[in-house]
Chain A
Amino acid sequence: MAIVETQAASSWQRTGKHLVFRLEGEEYGFPVLKVQEIVRWTELTRVPRVPDFILGVINLRGKVVPVIDLHVRFGLPPAPVTPRTCVIVLQVPRESGLLVSGVVADDVLEVLDVAAEQIGPPPEFGGRVNTEFIAGVVQADSRVILLLNAEKILDNRDWTFVEKVLEEKEQAHE
């Protein structure tokens, strides 16, 4: 069920088709060009000593792919796994090749065509989600969709730092 777009990426990557999904009752979107596939929720293998928003790793046809819990990443309350829960597998380019990771969605809704003029700037404050993860906001009819920045969400360059902080916390406790 891969839905990878073949059309060339538009110069302004926020426009174009977006995959819209639900998280804690709100709607979010990723550019479909960043979406490799959507897979059903499967059993995860926990990984020790990583930030707590990493739920674990899954076997994606022989490849080992980490899964990120956006609830934790965004500081939202945790949600139970339902039959609608699934993993959106994203791929973002990095210097060393494609970085592939999954994010958990409560429900995947649709692929939506978004025109440039529909997109507003990310809210400066007041939202529930850290604005650095948000690329823009679409307001259509009565819906509000937050377009997410896949690169930022998957970026793991500071995770080792996070790990260190965790460790220090741990040690302070002891």
Chain B
Amino acid sequence: MKVPASELIRAFVGEYRQLTAETRAPLDGLRQSGDAPCPLDAEALASLRRLAHTLRDGSLFLGFPRLAAIARVLVAVLRAGDGGRTGMVLTPAQGQLVVKAVALVDQIVESVEIQQREPSMESELAGFAQTARALGISWEVAPFTRGLSAAQEAPPEMSDAEKVEFLLAEEAAPQAAGDVPAPAAGDMVSIFAQDAEEILDHAEQNLLRLEAEPERLNDLLRQFHTLKGNSGLMGYSQMQTISHRLEDVLQHARDQRTTLGTDSVRLFLKAVDALRQCVASLRRGGSSSVPEYEAWLQRVDAWAGASTEETPPPPPAAETAPEPAPPAETPAAAAEAPPAVAAEAGEPAARVKPAAQAGDGIRINVERLDQLNDLTGELLAATAVVMHLSECRRGVDSEQYERACHQLDLVTSWLQNLSMSMRMVPVELAFRRLHRLVRDLSEKTGKPIELQLVGAETEADRRVIELIVDPLIHIVRNAVDHGIEPPEERRNLAKPETGTIRIEAFQRSNEVWIVISDDGRGLQRAKILEHARARGLVRGPAPLRDEQILDLIFEPGFSTAESVTEVSGRGVGLDVVRKNVERLRGRVGVQSVEGFSTTMTLRIPLTLSVINGMMTRVGTEQFVLPVENVRELLRADPVDVHRVADRGAMVGVRGETIPLFRLADLFTVSGAVASAGEGIVVVVEDGERRAALLVDETVGHQRVVVKSLRESLGRIQGVSGASVLADGRVRLVLDVPGLIGIAQERAR
């Protein structure tokens, strides 16, 4: 089945018209303001920006470079400092530029609608470009940047619209009615998948907040509309049809000036899940067919039919009732019907991690790219000065040279900061899943819960965000299952029936903190102790400090769940959370007021690639030990070292006996000191285990950038990577958990 480009263009034009209708008032304001500055309130600004962004994305997708260029100018003008929350004031020149831009766009869109292609309009565009540049806004009519990037073979003399047709013919030709093979080229598929994932994520957010904020219906409509268009363009007819039907349902709701009921929202969420499965399958190179496609079609049709028949729309329960399937199912049961969907519904979050494998694209703010360009220029200039000075050695005073080097150093560190900042993404990506999770859990357990998220804009390294998703989910599950009491119990305790889970993210020095608190029953010390003793986690009568007791919940094998519930899994406890966080070189802490609250604090370094290293020498070799794994350094008195039969050497450190290893033995290095008395004993820990390593000496501290060796050398036990030091030499960075592992194997 081929979707003609003309249909897409028609959809695009329709969308544009709809958006311009919304911006009529602010545009009139701009036209009349003449030489006066023109203030835009938040709403007007938002509508104009929406127009600009939609125009830009749409024309890029369809391959209209001139429209995209104008839209980019609009986006640039309307970029407000505070994200547009308080609106902004345009200068008269900016106001006129916006008016001019919209007029040009109107003209181009009109001709696109009729001729299916952009007119060249060179003189008008040149004039506009000049005005834009005068305001410091760059102007560039880029040839196709994405939509048609896969169509490089398209004959160059084709017009844009023809290219779209060409592309579609190429991609959609082998398309059979069954929609089984994924027909499009790899690049296009991954662009489509990335877009679709984002759209579905946003749609899910909107669905979850729809009841509280009915105006989100408009966003939802737009999202399914876009998804429909994109899947059509790719020739994924099943996805297109489903999106189309869902859009119809939304359209109908909007026409009736109503919104979706709880059950409809639930069904929509299931639909989002089903569509996500398709996208996931496409990413794996599989087919684009929708699981249980026929069932979905029937369900949505029945639903659409129901809402057209019964106007004004019925209470939500009736909305899905007239299902044509023989048994009169309740909406909830109907939603559970497709087994594939239902099976996965319990794990909505685990399924959708931010997929950022190597080769995946990421979005980078254009401003940051510009900065990168500028800084590279500065770097070249600074390098040129140093090179020049080193060439004419004579006659250069050292101060001059020093200054040049300093400048080079400065620019380099700026560049480093910038390149790190490009890896940063907002915590919001990890938070997104939680709304859905809490909603599902709340339904399952019958506990009403309010989720508060604070500081979602806090940024952290991409990889940190990826690895934090699982621990977060785990903690939230725990809070719902064990923390928050059932509503009756809360009522008896004079607590509000609705439990609250609050998650707050912020930066503190070099760390991201994520604090998860709930107002449930808190942690009961007596129970924890009893449990830990029963499991042999605590031995001896020595009294434990409060935080030591609370810390027990992170021990492997500890779980106070009195019964195994569907929500909190089986036997997997918070030890997994601690392990994951420690993989990120972070820490977990817990505080709790019995009967009132539990607060978990995750502290994670902002980036994974820079560590504080302690340089150690062993024989002729040097290694970097991460400082956070080093507990203490000592010169062991030989009398403190004893041999334990079969278990090797042990060293006594303040009453504790720790196994002692020569690093030289673990790594077969020759020429190192033989006995503890001659060298330095480094006590290292990985969070649960301790070991003492014998090294010749320590040679200082340094912040180092860790580079992975996994790609080129595979996994090396005991080594986490390598690092280039100031003297240009490569030093290996030790992986303490791995080292302890080798040491324990040896001791056995």
Contact = CB atoms under 8 A, between A and B. Distances in A.
Interface stretch (A60-68, A111-119, A125-133): A60-68
Contacts of A57: 709, 713, 722, 730
For B668, B707, B714, B731, which residue has the most chain A Cβ atoms within 10 angstroms?
A: B714
Interface string B699-724: 00000000101011111111101111
A95 B666 CA distance: 33
Interface string B707-748: 101011111111101111000111110000000000000000
A45 B668 contact: no
A160 interface: yes
Interface string A56-86: 0111001111100000000000000000000
A160 B712 contact: no
Contact of B712 (A45, A62, A65, A95): A65
Contacts of A160: 714-715
Given A46-B621, A48-B668, A49-B719, A159 B730 contact: no
A62 B704 CA distance: 12
B667 A48 contact: yes
A99 interface: yes
A46 B709 CA distance: 13
Contact of B713 (A54, A63, A97): A54
A87 to B, nearest CB: 14
Given A96-B359, A97-B359, A101-B712, A63 B707 contact: yes
B358 A96 contact: yes
B716 A45 contact: no
Given A57-B722, A64-B707, A101-B712, A49 B667 contact: yes
A59 B709 contact: no
Given A156-B713, A156-B714, A160-B714, A47 B719 contact: yes
A97 B358 contact: yes
Contacts of A54: 713
A153 interface: no
A38 interface: no
B716 A47 contact: yes
Given A49-B667, A160-B714, A64 B729 contact: no
A23 interface: no
A50 interface: yes
Nearest to A54: B713
A5 B729 CA distance: 30
A99 B359 contact: no
Contact of A45 (B359, B667, B711, B731): B731
Given A48-B718, A59-B724, A64-B722, A96 B711 contact: yes
Nearest to B621: A46
A80 B358 CA distance: 39
A137 interface: no
A68 to B, nearest CB: 10
A66 B713 contact: yes
27 contacts: A43-B729, A45-B731, A47-B709, A47-B713, A47-B732, A48-B716, A49-B667, A50-B713, A54-B713, A57-B709, A59-B724, A59-B729, A59-B730, A64-B707, A64-B709, A64-B721, A64-B722, A64-B723, A64-B730, A66-B709, A66-B713, A96-B357, A97-B358, A99-B711, A100-B712, A157-B714, A163-B716
Interface of A: 43, 45-50, 54, 57-59, 62-66, 94-97, 99-101, 156-157, 159-160, 163
Given A43-B729, A49-B667, A65-B712, 4 more contacts: A48-B716, A49-B716, A64-B709, A97-B359
